[in-house]
Structure 1
Amino acid sequence: MMDTERIREFLERGLEQILALGSDVNILSQLLAAVGGLVIAYFTHRRLQAAFLNLHDRFPGRSPFAKAFEILAALSLPLIWLTIEFAILAIFQGVGPPSHIISAICSLLVAWIVINVVTSLAENKIWARLVAFCAWTIAALNILGLLTPTLVFLEDLSFSLGDTRISMLGIAKALVAGIIIFWVTFGLSRFLEARIHKSKALTPSVQVLTAKLVRVGLISAAVLIILSNSGINITAFAVFSGALGVGIGFGLQKIVSNLISGIILLLDRSIKPGDVIEVGQTYGRVNAMGARYASVITRDAMEFLIPNEDLITQQVINWSYSSKNVRLRAPIGVSYDTDIPTALKLIEGAAKDVPRVLSNPAPKCLMRGFGDSAIDLELRFWIADPEEGCRNVTSEVLVSVWKLFKKEGINVPFPQRDIRVEMINPNSPVLSESKDGK
């Protein structure tokens, strides 16, 4: 169990030192100078921040100068405070009394500025802030001469879990190491993924699979490093892994099925990012493929997350599997008094005028049969960009055909019904029988 007596003695000794320092005039003057410098910096740093932001706007967004001025604008308060404290430190050293507090504050501000400059270069701001906090805490304890006593104090705070002794120092080391290692791991993972996606030697599906394997491998290595540094016996996880396997077998069937289906899709390349697919009532472009689902964006800008298992077990229409060329069909009807050979040529010419319709293979119009009210024709044409939509280009083609029909005087018939009314003689036998009810 934790040694509570030693903890109490440690806290009482620290309180006595604080009370002793409070009665020293030199120490009080340094504290007042430090607080005064902070107040002045707080009310004046916005002008310096605005000046840095003004310089930032003069450079392109990705310019290193723009990034430098952005960082300086964020650190305007500690920069002004540090400048003031350096001036006060020079005054104290010129007058003669010791100025340990001002010197320590200057050292702390320098450490804070340097650490924030380094961590601000990272893209993930959350991990960067965690790393900055841990690094500055360690630097502050070292500057104040409290690092060794703090380590001893945390080492004394321990408890036993079975045969294993776990101290707060070990937990703190594991947390700090975990934050730093995961920060480096995620940064390295993003860098490698960017390099993999830029490689033209790999297909899109292999790029996605390789990037995910790299990320999983780096995270697994980071977890093993953290566990080994924290003093935990890794072999103790053998029982846990067995129990986890049983849990996966019963409770995580769908998740595991989606994971395996995702790997199969990435390996056989039947569906890859950029393909235009149709699953059930969903038609759209594959935006991304994850470990559990595929993101499909429709023409309405709606994003459907389709489980990978559905892409394996259900019928999927891949409009761009081997080629992006797609043939579309548009039914057209003309009246019986139309010159059919001329109409066929006019329809094919109207389709060629639409920009998205391919000239090779050329549009082809066929006569399908004799309908009740019209002669049935069918226009077949090809496009090479199904991801841009199919119904919209069909509409453009039909509008072009309609304009040409209006110009050439070709009629598009519609169903008509003739009603014939015959007068019946009232003295006819049929009407007589009806009146008698027979």
Structure 2
Amino acid sequence: MLIYHRDTLTLNILLGALETKAGLVELAIGLFCVFVGWHVARYVYRRWFATHPGRFDLFLPYLLFRLVLPMSSQVLVILSTVVWVLLLGRSGIVLPIMSAMLFWFGAIRVLTAVVRQVLPQGKLERHSEHVLATTLWIGFISWAIGFDHFVLDWLDSVAFTVGKTRLSLLTMISTLMWVSVIMICSLWVSKLAEARVMKLQQVDLNLRIVITKLLRTVLVVVGVLVALPVLGVDLSVLSVFGGALGVGLGFGLQKIASNYVSGFIILLDRSIRVGDRLMVDNRVGYVSKLTSRYVVLKGLDGSEALVPNDTLISNTVLNQSYSDKAMWASISIQVGYSTDLDVALGILAEAAKAHPRVMKNPGPGAYVTAFAESGISLDLGFWVADPENGFMGLKSDLYLAIWRRFKQEGIEIPFPQREVRILADGLQPDPSMVASAIALQAAAAASREVRT
């Protein structure tokens, strides 16, 4: 027969079947089917995922890939069982058991894929996936060999009474399991809805973030309200919990509540958006993420600061890209007093106009800023449309272009110089004065070498 009742799927029957020649042949056929399924999964991986690893981040492609091995193996096992029982007239025991195991294997992979989709990527995701798979396999084996009756009876016997309610270990585990399942389903649905909402490009980004946060909160609350009555918990206990939460907010959670409220205010009034350049407490960076509790500010050196939302509401924040992300920058340079300033200013403006990152409207400008001690100070100012790409490379390109043009035009960039004259007037010079003069000449020579 192809299907066995649960009471027949015992360890003794399986071990007894494996002691026969037919049982070993069934086991070999089943293992061969799993081997073929593994090769099919390996081919699918090389064909569709090895060259496109980003597909693993998508839920449906990842789930289909995880089901290739159990589904292909089970199809082969079912066909082998049909041939073994109907055509050869043998009694199939091992092959139906392996088919049930492969079906459970596929169900486990579906559940773990959902958990992977809900949880954030990292160690928590991997550990949770492994723990869930191990727990489900242990439960299946216990069910298959009839050991679950003993486990359930023992868990129900470990109990205590709270008022008129009897709480057993089985009840608490069932409660935790159902709440976890409902919460995971709620988070999964909210994540799918979030992905759909974030694709609505015609809606403002901050509004999309607000919608996703509110949707996730509503789904989690609804999930809890659905889980509690299913488990027989009276919803009137939530009034006690609400009172305790109010006391907690009054005594120690004001800052946390303030951060959450401030987060929704920032998202709704759109004062700060993802990609804005902010200066908070002398730290300059770009907003890379907005959450309901903090803002991630990524500095120019790659470091990320988590700024509480309350700080952005209560303090003055310099948003350098509030209405326009274009920024003004400048570089300074000196030329000698014998330089034709019109030519030098033209070279500075032409160097800026030739650079692709410098905005053409408004265009760059070159200015005389001071008559300094060693030369005339010039400033080149310009607007940059993509300040998120940094300024060091841009300024280096401009300095090199100006340097090359100055060499072509013979324009000198001055450096500090000192002249020392010793007037003897027929007298022998003081040795200390001679030493000082030599020291000054050495310092001037060293200065010239450094500038060169």
Q: Same fold (TM over 0.5)?
A: yes
Q: 1:286 to 1:34 in 2, by over 3 A?
A: farther
Question: What CA deviation, in whole Å up to 9, does each residue of 1:218-255 have, x standing for no partner?
Answer: 11221222222111222223333323333333333443
Q: 1:229 to 1:182 in 2, by over 3 A?
A: same
- Preserved contact between residue 276 and residue 319 of structure 1 (Cα < 8 Å): yes
Structure 1 residue aligned with 2:288? 287
Question: Does the residue aligned with 1:291 lie in a helix, a strand or coil?
Answer: coil
Which structure 2 residue ranges, 5 or more long, are not aligned?
A: 1-6, 118-124, 429-452
- Preserved contact between residue 359 and residue 384 of structure 2 (Cα < 8 Å): yes
Q: CA deviation at 1:387?
A: 0.8
Question: Does the residue aligned with 2:337 lie in a helix, a strand or coil?
Answer: coil
Structure 2 residue aligned with 1:277? 278
1:72 matches 2:73: no
Partners of 2:62 and 2:133 lie apart in 1 by: 22
Question: Does the residue aligned with 2:233 lie in a helix, a strand or coil?
Answer: coil
- Preserved contact between residue 85 and residue 102 of structure 1 (Cα < 8 Å): no
Structure 2 residue aligned with 1:28? 16
Question: What CA deviation, in whole Å up to 9, does each residue of 1:72-108 have, x standing for no partner?
Answer: 236677666666666665589x35x7x7x65862563
Greater alpha carbon shift after TM alignment, 266-275 vs 38-47: 38-47
Amino acid at match of 2:210: L
Q: CA deviation at 1:155?
A: 6.0
Which structure 1 residue ranges, 5 or more long, are not aligned?
A: 1-16, 428-438
1:105 matches 2:75: no
1:196 matches 2:197: yes
- Preserved contact between residue 55 and residue 66 of structure 1 (Cα < 8 Å): no
The TM-score, its normalising length taken from structure 1, stands at: 0.76
Structure 1: 4+ residue segments shifted above 4 A: 30-44, 60-70, 74-92, 101-104, 125-158, 424-427
Give the CA RMSD over aligned residues: 4.1
**Correspondence for 1:124 among 116, 119, 144:** 116
- Preserved contact between residue 329 and residue 379 of structure 1 (Cα < 8 Å): yes
Question: What CA deviation, in whole Å up to 9, does each residue of 1:40-95 have, x standing for no partner?
Answer: 65577445413431244234655988964552236677666666666665589x35
- Preserved contact between residue 128 and residue 183 of structure 1 (Cα < 8 Å): no
Q: 1:107 to 1:41 in 2, by over 3 A?
A: closer
Structure 2 residue aligned with 1:258? 259
Amino acid at match of 2:101: L
- Preserved contact between residue 131 and residue 179 of structure 1 (Cα < 8 Å): no
Q: 1:248 to 1:135 in 2, by over 3 A?
A: same
Partners of 2:275 and 2:314 lie apart in 1 by: 21
Question: Does the residue aligned with 2:232 lie in a helix, a strand or coil?
Answer: coil
Question: Does the residue aligned with 2:356 lie in a helix, a strand or coil?
Answer: coil
- Preserved contact between residue 108 and residue 136 of structure 2 (Cα < 8 Å): no
Q: 1:38 to 1:161 in 2, by over 3 A?
A: farther
1:52 matches 2:41: yes
Question: What CA deviation, in whole Å up to 9, does each residue of 1:137-160 have, x standing for no partner?
Answer: 888888889999987886666432
Structure 1 residue aligned with 2:217? 216
Q: 1:103 to 1:56 in 2, by over 3 A?
A: closer
Greater alpha carbon shift after TM alignment, 45-54 vs 337-346: 45-54
Q: CA deviation at 1:270?
A: 1.9
Structure 2 residue aligned with 1:163? 164
Q: 1:21 to 1:37 in 2, by over 3 A?
A: closer
Structure 1 residue aligned with 2:419? 418
Amino acid at match of 2:252: G
- Preserved contact between residue 363 and residue 380 of structure 1 (Cα < 8 Å): yes
Amino acid at match of 2:188: G
1:233-252 alignment to 2 at 5 Å?
A: 233-252=234-253
Q: 1:372 to 1:424 in 2, by over 3 A?
A: same
Structure 1 residue aligned with 2:186? 185
The TM-score, its normalising length taken from structure 2, stands at: 0.74
- Preserved contact between residue 70 and residue 102 of structure 2 (Cα < 8 Å): no
Aligned length: 405
Question: Does the residue aligned with 1:124 lie in a helix, a strand or coil?
Answer: helix
Structure 1 residue aligned with 2:343? 342
Q: CA deviation at 1:134?
A: 8.1
Q: CA deviation at 1:420?
A: 2.7
Greater alpha carbon shift after TM alignment, 199-208 vs 28-37: 28-37
Partners of 2:70 and 2:425 lie apart in 1 by: 100
Q: CA deviation at 1:280?
A: 3.4
Q: CA deviation at 1:193?
A: 0.9
- Preserved contact between residue 171 and residue 230 of structure 1 (Cα < 8 Å): no
